[in-house]
Structure 1
Amino acid sequence: MRQTFVVLHRYVGLVMALFLVVAGFTGIFIAFYDELDACIHPEVMRVVPPANQAMLSPVALTALVLRQYPDAMITRIDLNQVADQSRRFRLQPRPGLPESSVLNNEVFVNPYTGQILGERKWGDITQGTINLLPFIYRLHFSLALGSVGDYLFGIVALLWTLDCFVGAYLTFPAPQRTSTIRIKTKEQHWLSRWWKAWKIRWHGGSAKRNFDLHRAGGLWVWAMLFVFAWSSVAFNLREVYTPVMDTLFARQSFDEKIPTLAQPLTSPQLDVSAALGTGRQLIQQASHDDAFTIHHEAKIYYDASKGTYTYVVNSSRDLSEKTADTAVIFNANSGEQLAIYLPTGEAAGDTITQWLLALHTAQVWGLPMQIFVCAMGFGVVGLTVTGVLIWLKKRRSRKLAHQLKGSRR
């Protein structure tokens, strides 16, 4: 069985190698996505707050943008206003219009004046450096191949998750054939032999050093590798992640039970301003009923296919100030509450998922976690490269042995 696992680990690793190198290398930059994006084009991402002038409301800014893009619609409005940052809006073609009617789907606006500072078609690297970070993001999650890449990365993530356990098993020392040692002594001996797997023989030659870097390197960061692998399944292969997690843990269904309308509701009775008022009332009541504290507004978005608004805030149920997933869904005509979602503390499956995704994207613990995730990107690349080098060495050894065997005949 051990030899079978060795073969599985070897060839699954080779299948994953390219994907993991790309994911690891691009993850180095994704850990500082917002900071790097702003550094490349500060004239678009940053503003200088004028003295004694308040920012325009998100609703007013939305109206200003739509006047300049009459063929577009905005279904999501970010509500958390930061004094020195531009506001970004995602544009979509109005119903019935072709995709080409909106050339650029992301617009950056001065929140004090409403001036358009820049725009881009998110992820289109042909537009130059303004899309460098979005393009790296696309590479990270899908090799920039769209839905095909999403599924490919999802399958690789699933293989990676399983291989985490195979790799850990292969670090365990092989069982000794002895029956004379007492159980306690046997355990101590097993642990002492396993401890060798955590060490690196720096002076044992390049082959041993490379092998130890692969084995010990994987052991020391095994927990985070598993987090990356399984959370990648959550990002790219929900068809597998959701059933597995639902089998093991409870989960809030959120909006899944809200039916899709026969025809999209393109003109709801509640406009955005009225929807904001309704959302605020509903979330305040929910905070009282479910005992959580609201920190700040995050966003509101409209789903025409279901005729619903979703109002999202950052609350004490979120993992950090960077994450905002506390949400209420309500009918866009009547304002009736349809669902409430609390990211942590309500259902174990949701809490675990929130932690997995937050750790993967460095959304908790501030700068130290960003640096750690960046370092893990280097680590994933290093583990992949050392694994390939081990395979190449063994392949050369097997080929040489085969040649020697043939020459003796």
Structure 2
Amino acid sequence: MRQFFVLIHRYTGLVLALFLILAGVTGMFIAFYDELEKAFHPAFRLVEPHPGQTKISAVALAGLLQARYPEAMFNRINLHQAAGESTSFYLQPRPGNKTGLVNDEIFVDPYTGQVLAERKWGDISQGSINLLPFLYRLHFSLALDKTGRWVLGIVALIWTLDCFIGACLTFPSSPRRASVRSQSKSHSWLTRWWKAWKVRWQGGAAKVNFDLHRAGGLWLWAMLFVFAWSSVAFNLRDVYYPVMGAVFAKQHFGEDIPRLPKPLIKPTLDVNAALITGRALMQKVSVAHAFSIHYETKIYYDAGKGTYTYIVNSSRDVSEQSSNTAVMFNADSGQQLAVYLPTGEAAGDTVTQWLLALHTAKVWGLPMQIFVSAMGLGVVGLTVTGVRIWLKKRRSRRLVRQLRRPER
């Protein structure tokens, strides 16, 4: 059985190698996505305060921009305007627009309403303006959108299973198979396993490489599992949620609301009225569930279902960097339809929120960003050392076959 697991681990690693290296390298940069964007593109990511002028609200900016982009819909409005930063908008094609949008992300000066830049998010053909978004697309979908997400979802699922196989292979052999010398010392199982956590720095290049792979995998195992299983959550939801649902409870946030026969383009509540309604509903929810609201994040309109979703950062979120507390309501009547509380309501949602926040470095600030970035390098290192182990054993097997080959 152990030899079978060795074969599974070996060839699984070879199949996943390129995917894991790509994910590790791109993940190193994505951990600092916003910081790198501001450093590379300060002209449109950063703004100087205008003396005597107050910021134009994000909703008002969306109204101003709608006349300039009549072919688009401003269905998602980022309400949180950080000091010194431009306000960004993601556009969606208006129903009936068969040509699509030239650009779908706009950056605006919140003091003047001036459009600073626009881009087709992730389209590397536009040049360096899309470098970070393109790396993001590579990381999450191989820059192949739905097909790439599906492929990486399968890769993540295999990686998750291989995490357990790899861990099992580090366990010490049973006493029956252990050497007579080791049996005579009567070492405990944990004592013998502790050797797998160490690197024999004086053992030669091959042993160092093997130990780095084995010990590195053990020391990083917990975070490797977080990356693998949360990647399934991102890319293969049809697998992740049934598995989690078999163990943990989960909230159903608007999943049972049917889609309308045709999109509702002009609901009774415009975005200003919807914002007032969302704030009032969220205030009631916060009182009923005893949590505090830190700041509002976004309001999203789903024309297909005729609903608004109002999202805030609250004490139920895993950190002030992650905003997922939400209320959904009917876009015509304002009737509350669903509430989502990231933590403390359903164990499955709490676990999922922590997994996703750890993967995206949305907790514990800069130290976590550095750690996640370093983990990207760790994934690359484990992959490379694993391939080197395979190459060495492959050469050894070839040499043995050559020596056994009868002379003619």
TM-score scaled by length of structure 2: 0.97
Q: Note the alpha carbon deviations across 1:88-121, whole angstroms, 9 max, x for none.
A: 0011221101243x20000000001000000000
Distance 1:99 1:83 in 2: 36
Q: Note the alpha carbon deviations across 1:246-290, whole angstroms, 9 max, x for none.
A: 111000011101111122111100000000000000000000000
**Structure 1 runs of 4+ with >6 Å offset:** none
Distance 1:124 1:366 in 2: 29
CA shift, 1:57, in A, is 1.1
| Aligned pairs (5 A) from 1:260-271 | 260-271=259-270
Q: Identify the residue that residue 195 of structure 2 maps to in structure 1.
A: 196
Distance 1:226 1:45 in 2: 34
Structure 2: state its 5+ residue gaps.
none
Q: Identify the residue that residue 16 of structure 2 maps to in structure 1.
A: 16
Distance 2:17 2:70 in 1: 46
Distance 1:165 1:375 in 2: 22
Greater displacement, 91-100 / 70-79: 91-100
Q: Identify the residue that residue 30 of structure 2 maps to in structure 1.
A: 30
| Aligned pairs (5 A) from 1:168-179 | 168-177=167-176
Number of aligned positions between the proteins: 404
CA shift, 1:191, in A, is 1.3
Q: Identify the residue that residue 204 of structure 2 maps to in structure 1.
A: 205
CA shift, 1:188, in A, is 4.9
Q: Note the alpha carbon deviations across 1:322-370, whole angstroms, 9 max, x for none.
A: 1110000000000000000000000000000000000000000000000
Distance 1:94 1:388 in 2: 49
CA shift, 1:189, in A, is 2.1
| Aligned pairs (5 A) from 1:351-390 | 351-390=350-389
Amino acid corresponding to residue 4 of structure 1 in structure 2: F
CA shift, 1:71, in A, is 1.2
Q: Identify the residue that residue 227 of structure 2 maps to in structure 1.
A: 228
Query: Could you say what the CA RMSD is over the residues aligned between the two structures, in angstroms?
Result: 1.5
**1:296 aligns to what SS in structure 2?**
strand
CA shift, 1:133, in A, is 0.2
Q: Identify the residue that residue 129 of structure 2 maps to in structure 1.
A: 130
| Aligned pairs (5 A) from 1:53-72 | 53-72=53-72
TM-score scaled by length of structure 1: 0.97
**2:158 aligns to what SS in structure 1?**
helix
**1:292 aligns to what SS in structure 2?**
coil
**1:255 aligns to what SS in structure 2?**
coil
Amino acid corresponding to residue 70 of structure 1 in structure 2: P
Distance 1:193 1:386 in 2: 23
Q: Note the alpha carbon deviations across 1:127-162, whole angstroms, 9 max, x for none.
A: 111100000001111111121111110000000000
Q: Identify the residue that residue 328 of structure 2 maps to in structure 1.
A: 329
Q: Identify the residue that residue 252 of structure 1 maps to in structure 2.
A: 251
Q: Identify the residue that residue 278 of structure 1 maps to in structure 2.
A: 277
The percent identity for this pair of structures is: 67
Q: Identify the residue that residue 313 of structure 1 maps to in structure 2.
A: 312
Q: Identify the residue that residue 83 of structure 2 maps to in structure 1.
A: 83
Amino acid corresponding to residue 31 of structure 1 in structure 2: A
Q: Identify the residue that residue 167 of structure 1 maps to in structure 2.
A: 166
Structure 1: state its 5+ residue gaps.
none
Distance 2:264 2:152 in 1: 35
1:55/1:187 CA distance change after superposition, 3 Å: farther
Q: Identify the residue that residue 43 of structure 1 maps to in structure 2.
A: 43
Distance 1:68 1:205 in 2: 67
1:187/1:171 CA distance change after superposition, 3 Å: farther
Q: Note the alpha carbon deviations across 1:221-263, whole angstroms, 9 max, x for none.
A: 1000000000000001001001001111000011101111122
Q: Identify the residue that residue 119 of structure 1 maps to in structure 2.
A: 118
Q: Identify the residue that residue 287 of structure 2 maps to in structure 1.
A: 288
Q: Identify the residue that residue 304 of structure 1 maps to in structure 2.
A: 303
Amino acid corresponding to residue 151 of structure 1 in structure 2: W
Distance 2:187 2:87 in 1: 60
Distance 1:408 1:14 in 2: 34
Distance 1:321 1:190 in 2: 43
Greater displacement, 240-249 / 50-59: 50-59
**2:116 aligns to what SS in structure 1?**
strand
Distance 1:227 1:118 in 2: 36
**1:48 aligns to what SS in structure 2?**
coil
Distance 1:323 1:14 in 2: 35
